[in-house]
Amino acid sequence: MGILTKNLMSDLYKFDDIVAWDDKVRERYSFGYDKPNFLLLSSLELQDFCKSKLLCGKNQTCLNQYNSFSLQYNYMNDQVLYEKAQYSTYQYPLSLGWQNLTTSQKEYLIKMDLNRIFVQTIVINQSQEDIILPNLIYSANEQDGIFYTIFSMNFLMMFSQINNQKYGGPFSCDLVNGNYQQYKYTNVNQFDGFQYQDSFGNICGDATNKCTQCSYYNLKRIFSVEWRCRPWYQQSQNQFYILFGQPYISINPNIVGSTITFKVVIDNQKIKSIKDEYSYKQDAVVATDIDLTLILNRYQQNKDLNIEYSYLISTNPSSNSTEYSPLVIAHPMMNITNLQTVYDVEFYNSTNKENEIYLFKNQTSFLNDTFQTYQNCSFQMLFNNSQIRIITKNNIKYLTIFTPIFICFGTIYEQASNINSYYVKAVSLQQMDQDTYQVNQMQEIMVKTIFIIYSTLVVIILVLFYFLTKSFLFYNFEIPIQILTQFIQNADSQSIFIFYQKINKKELKTSQELKNLILAINNVVLNLQEKVKSKFQNQESDQSYLDIQTALSQQLITFQAFSHLTGIGLCLNYRFPYLQNDYPYFLDKIDHNFNNIYDPYIAYDINNLKSQYKNKFTNELNFYEVFYEDQQEKIEI
């Protein structure tokens, strides 16, 4: 809004380029005309301000709240508020009536009214957020003192100084004899014009001793308030661009307020930087009053202010003096109707007030530092600018943190920043000790709980691991060994070999452990047969023969680990005496296990035994020969 106002006041935007109506007439400014081109009402006239009240009908709530200015920030909620929000308000210090303004003054106000379009958009967007909202948006012109504000406002009913019979009141939106009451004076020549009085009606001088507080108080004016003498306007003279002003008491309502101002300096060839505006007098000031109620409500939410609380204080506005007492902007213990220093509020009930204030000042000398403007906005992110102090208040020590609030402003090409206030957080050390003790107790309980839970989990995991391991061994070792034992009890070497081949070719699915056992047994049996065969073919020496015997003995021991029932390990039972030339015992074993005999490798040797022991074993050998031939037929089949 400040930049727009600056451009509108310059020659950058001509009046004829802005207005859209064809005849460019600078009249028809209110609902008093059939087709208004723009909606501007006088702050000291009731007709345009009160006309929308007829829309309330018999709605008593609407009637009671109609004069409220702040409700217009929610103008989309109500038709009456919407109608009121279509207006902007102006006031000329020397006279009433649009007709008494010069052409240039009319053009200035019409161009200023463009601000309403943008401000209403901002207001609608911000009203949906829990943020600090503007309370009033307005501007004052240095040349002629014209005041302009967004939305409808009427000073006749707002200010008690003029809302009385002396000035034609009391004023209201009620019709009297079919007309609204009117302000008694239309120009400053009709009465004293509040000359030598401040904005609150207090005498500040006379014709001989002029008012020194503000030179404009020495001039006549149609309304008691001289906007160019307000604190927010005066403070902007010694700064440039944007400034967060010092707290002050607003006129209506009479409470502590804070204002953001934009110093409007019309561009000229000598201004090369925004800092150059510092040495120029303002052509106008655009201001926004900040609603501190939201901040104050947040600060007052703490139920026990003896434990912890927060507040906001101002900074030194002077660039060359450190004689300054920080003012309270928002504090949970402040008096909202009085302007107070931080010393007044912080130590108001202290039993050792003077000494504690003295210590506070010594510890917080940085609060009196002169006002500085920094070259850029990098300071906004530097949290190490905070100051931590131990402040004693009413014999209670508080850990207090002072955090500067930096404001960044400028253009796309140039930025600057300054400290506009300090956010202060105070916490009782006694409470901190109690909280620390409670935290330690909670941590101790937490550690014990974690230890118990951890120990319990370890035990549960170990028990679970035990049962899982037991189950794993049972299903992967014990059961496969039982199956293998049953299989060996009923199988011969060929069956073992065939069974292994089927498993190896994945024709049969089984566990890896069972597969490994079958492989081991198959290798033992086949290896044994190969060794015996090699011996009889004279492919090995006597020493090798002895090695075979040793190996066979060891394999017999190993193989007997599974079982050695009748038929199990049969090959070892009859080969071992056979290789020792103990043929009678060999034949006796064959006779004992005849149901399980089948070995094509010893067919030739059996025939030789028949001829050597023909007399003694004729019947037996004939029997086994028949048995062998029968087995051969099975193989061929």
Burial label for 482, CB within 10 Å (0-12, 13-18, 19+), is exposed
Least confident of 52-61, 435-444, 625-634: 625-634
Check residue 537 and give its pLDDT: 59
d(CA 374, CA 404): 14
Query: Residue 335: CA atoms inside 13 Å, Cβ hemisphere, count?
Result: 9
Q: What is the pLDDT of residue 20?
A: 75
pLDDT at 172 over 60: yes
pLDDT at 601: 44
- Measured between alpha carbons, how far is 175 from 165 in angstroms, rounded to an integer? 16
Highest mean pLDDT among 180-189, 362-371, 464-473, 526-535: 180-189
Q: What is the mean pLDDT of the chain?
A: 76
Q: Is residue 263's pLDDT more than 80?
A: yes
Q: What confidence tier does 220 reach under pLDDT thresholds 50, 70, 90?
A: very high
The CA distance from 356 to 339, in Å, is 21
Select from 128, 364, 132 the least CA-distant residue to 244: 132
Is residue 230 pLDDT above 70, yes or no?
Answer: yes
pTM for the structure as a whole: 0.62
Q: Pseudo-torsion of CA 605, 610, 612, 616, nearest 10°? A: 140
User: Tens digits of per-residue pLDDT, 432-457?
Assistant: 666 677 777 788 888 888 888 888 88
Bond from prior residue into 253 cis (ω within 30 degrees of 0) = yes
Q: Which of 177-181, 186-190, 473-477 is predicted with the least confidence, judged by mean pLDDT?
A: 473-477
- 186-201: average pLDDT: 91
SS3 for 13?
A: coil
Buried (b) or exposed (e) across 207-222, using 16+ Cβ within 10 A?
Answer: eeeebeebeebbbbbb
Alpha-carbon span 238 to 233, nearest angstrom: 10
Q: How far is CA 486 from CA 182, 479, 482, in A?
A: 121, 11, 6
Check residue 586 and give its pLDDT.
Answer: 63
The residue whose two tokens read 């935290």 is 439
pLDDT at residue number 634: 42
Summarised one tens digit per residue, pLDDT across range 117-141 is 887 777 776 655 556 667 788 899 9
**pLDDT for residue 70 is more than 90:** no
Q: Highest-confidence range of 145-154, 250-259, 459-468, 470-479, by mean pLDDT?
A: 145-154
Across 255-264, 362-371, 519-528, 531-540, least confident range: 531-540
Check residues 450 and 77 and name the one with the higher pLDDT: 450
pLDDT at 562 over 50: no
pLDDT of residue 13: 79
The tokens describing 627, both together, are: 């048995």
